[in-house]
Structure 1
Amino acid sequence: MGDHSHGSPQESGTVAKAQDGSLDKIQDPGLPPHRARLTDTDPRAAKRAERQVAILFAISMIGTVLFFVGYFAVGHPESIAEIRLQNMLLGVGTAFAMLGIGVGIVHWARTLMPDHEIAESRHEVRTEEDRQDAEAIINTIVDESGINRRPLIRNTLIGALALAPLPGVFILRDLDLTKESAGQIVDRLRHTMWDKGVRLTRDPSGTPIKASDVQIGSAFHVIPDGLNDTEDPLNEKAKAVVLLMRLDPEDLSVSPEREDWHYNGIVAYSKICTHVGCPVALYEQHTHHLLCPCHQSTFDLTQECKVIFGPAAHALPQLPITVDDEGFLVAQSDFHEPVGPGYWERG
């Protein structure tokens, strides 16, 4: 092992040992010499940096415009391609809106704002003098930033900062979290395409399902008959899609009011997780558990899909089903409760 006791006095940072064994204070070396940047000495370089900062702020504004193009121009996507286009425009637009401002301010500080170090002694706080000192500091910051001398940077920054919050305002507006709008959302989610006599069909083909087609351990992704012919099939599907499974009737623990909601162990539950609305798409045949892949909420199929693990707060809504005269599975009614995540109070 090496000996670490022979470092230089400067390495201690506070004291040094003299030859006679006494401790001497190290003299403050002061601030390092300031190294001038190219923009400090070359007006053309400073002007070029100013244009670069303005371009970055302009990129932020373009990003906000891209967000609104995706938000309004592709406001009601009707195909997977349109959904992908909208998501790309919203994501890229928001990223450029935030990134343009952040990178622009950093580049502005690194190339144009003063970069010399300042050491000041601490003074006693005095009310009037403190106010004057604070005012002087603010004026110094404004002067050193050069914002008054650089209208191109100032104007583009104002434009970028004015536009950047707007996407967030529109996104928050769409959450519909007021008491009145929450009631409207619950009402919309309470009613789906399911109704008495509507056949259960395979997703996405729309082929009707007979009870004899459903074997113990099997699982079907199901949509209402006629969904593909509606004007807005994606939104209707988002509310009405269900999972259909068959268990041994003896494995089902059924409450009295739901005794006739299944048919010979065939049960149907909403596919939309009650946490944040992800599709519950994983079925464990041996445990009879349904799993949401987003946050691992787990529902017990044998106990009316109550939550046994994860952040979901409500059981999956059950669709009452039976069979028609031809043996096809049909709904007895719509869901008896709103489907989807439980952000609001469910009636």
Structure 2
Amino acid sequence: MSDNAPARTEDVPAPEHAVTLAGTTAAPTLFENPGMPVHVHRMADSDPRAAKRAERQVATMFVLSMVGTLVFLVSYFAVDLDDVVHIPFIGDTLLQNLLLGCGLGFGMLFIGLGAVHWAKTLMPDEEVVEERHDLRSSDETRADAVAVLAEGGETSGIGRRPLIKLTLGGALGLFGLPFIVGLRDLGPMPGDWLSTTFWETGMRLVSDPELAPIKASDVTIGSVFHVMPEGIDQTDDVLEQQAKAAVILIRLDPTDIKNSKELDWGYEGIVAYSKICTHVGCPVGLYEQQTHHLLCPCHQSTFDVTDDCKVIFGPAHRRLPQLAISVDDEGYLVARQPFQEAVGPSFPERGQRHPVKGQSS
């Protein structure tokens, strides 16, 4: 063997501290298990004055949380929306936004800091090991668990430290108010707004988007008109009203209509139905003249126009509401009454606006 050749492995003796397993040499043990560190008692564990001082510190943090929450509430109601304050390196910002953010942030921050300081200075810090047991414990074990929980509440000091209990309750109680107050910005309660439309008795049907009145003589068999109520363009919330009031107008041969209510609410075979799909509110505007089917392009809900627009396919669960129509003295089509049931997709607590005998919902 050359002097520069590396020594073979078998020529290298194993270190004395190596462990031999099944005739092979394992990796040497380089580190020893240091074990658990020696438990260091905190000052509050042995000094009542230190424990009292920590208790006051925790209570102070909870009080600061209450102050932050009160700042939020006061600024929400008392600070003008247009007040501006200049902040260096940031610029001009709305004073109310600044106070709302700081108040809510400090309210949350000091609740967290108080809870952490409480746990680190006053609650027990010994490690506890619990053996894994069967999922269903015996009644005795379950009773012991309740006792452990009670003991935990006792050792936490919540019962013996009324100052912490009162200030924590105050901080948590006040901290929930901003979220309740914030609901006010969601706007007023909808009332019956979701269940009513712009349609009223005597309103003319006008074409969409031209808004021209429609005479019954202009509607031929097989023709389709997309219509709105006359005057809807004069409303302040025109887009919201149009989204509910859209109607599709179709003329059928009266002999093709299978439903007596549909025939009665129409005029010489002319029928008007809500254009808003009862599934998720897409516009139902695809009419198959040969089959007399209305198709929703979003999820393929299909309605039979000859049978009061009942659902014959797709995810919709309700038929399209019908608008009762007639003609005025000049021959223009008008609404005989508003929709008698809510238009559009279903929602909780929906009901018919004016239940009509024999009408399906």
TM-score normalised over the length of structure 1: 0.50
Match of 1:134 among 149, 160, 163: 149
Aligned to 1:220: 226
1:194-214 deviation per Cα after TM superposition (whole angstroms, max 9, x unaligned): 32x431124677542344666
Deviation of 1:159 after TM superposition, in Å, equals: 0.3
Cα distance change, pair 332–150 in 1 and its aligned pair in 2 (3 A): closer
Aligned to 1:281: 283
Matched residue SS, 2:176: helix
Cα RMSD after superposing both structures: 6.1
1:156 correspondence with 2:171: yes
Aligned to 1:198: 203
Aligned to 1:54: 65
1:169-213 deviation per Cα after TM superposition (whole angstroms, max 9, x unaligned): 999x9588xxxxxxxx69x95897432x43112467754234466
Aligned to 1:14: none
In structure 1, stretches of 5+ residues that fail to align are 1-16, 22-26, 35-42, 70-95, 177-184
- How many residue pairs end up in the alignment? 271
Deviation of 1:237 after TM superposition, in Å, equals: 3.8
1:268 correspondence with 2:268: no
Whole-Å Cα distance in 2 between the matches of residues 160 and 128 of structure 1? 35
Moved more, 248-257 or 299-308: 248-257
- Any residues of structure 2 matched to 1:33-52 within 5 Å, and which? none
Matched residue SS, 1:268: strand
Deviation of 1:271 after TM superposition, in Å, equals: 4.0
Aligned to 2:129: 120
Cα distance change, pair 261–158 in 1 and its aligned pair in 2 (3 A): closer
Letter of the aligned partner of 1:220 in structure 2? H
Matched residue SS, 1:159: helix
1:299-318 deviation per Cα after TM superposition (whole angstroms, max 9, x unaligned): 41523221235554321211
Aligned to 2:90: none
Letter of the aligned partner of 1:284 in structure 2? L
Bigger Rg, structure 1 or 2:
2
Contact map agreement 2:200 2:335 (CA 8 A) in 1: yes
Whole-Å Cα distance in 1 between the matches of residues 313 and 114 of structure 2? 50
In structure 2, stretches of 5+ residues that fail to align are 1-18, 24-31, 40-53, 81-101, 356-361
Whole-Å Cα distance in 2 between the matches of residues 271 and 246 of structure 1? 11
Whole-Å Cα distance in 2 between the matches of residues 119 and 297 of structure 1? 61
Letter of the aligned partner of 1:316 in structure 2? L
Whole-Å Cα distance in 1 between the matches of residues 75 and 208 of structure 2? 37
- Any residues of structure 2 matched to 1:322-337 within 5 Å, and which? 322-337=326-341
Match of 1:300 among 282, 294, 303: 303
Contact map agreement 1:227 1:233 (CA 8 A) in 2: no
Q: Compare the two structures and name the one with the higher helix fraction.
A: 1
Deviation of 1:140 after TM superposition, in Å, equals: 3.6
Aligned to 2:325: 321
Aligned to 2:262: 258
Cα distance change, pair 273–106 in 1 and its aligned pair in 2 (3 A): farther
Whole-Å Cα distance in 2 between the matches of residues 284 and 63 of structure 1? 55
Cα distance change, pair 57–228 in 1 and its aligned pair in 2 (3 A): same
Deviation of 1:139 after TM superposition, in Å, equals: 3.4
Whole-Å Cα distance in 2 between the matches of residues 328 and 249 of structure 1? 20
1:244 correspondence with 2:248: yes
Q: % of aligned pairs identical?
A: 26
Matched residue SS, 2:21: coil
Matched residue SS, 1:164: helix
Aligned to 1:90: none
TM-score normalised over the length of structure 2: 0.49
Aligned to 1:8: none
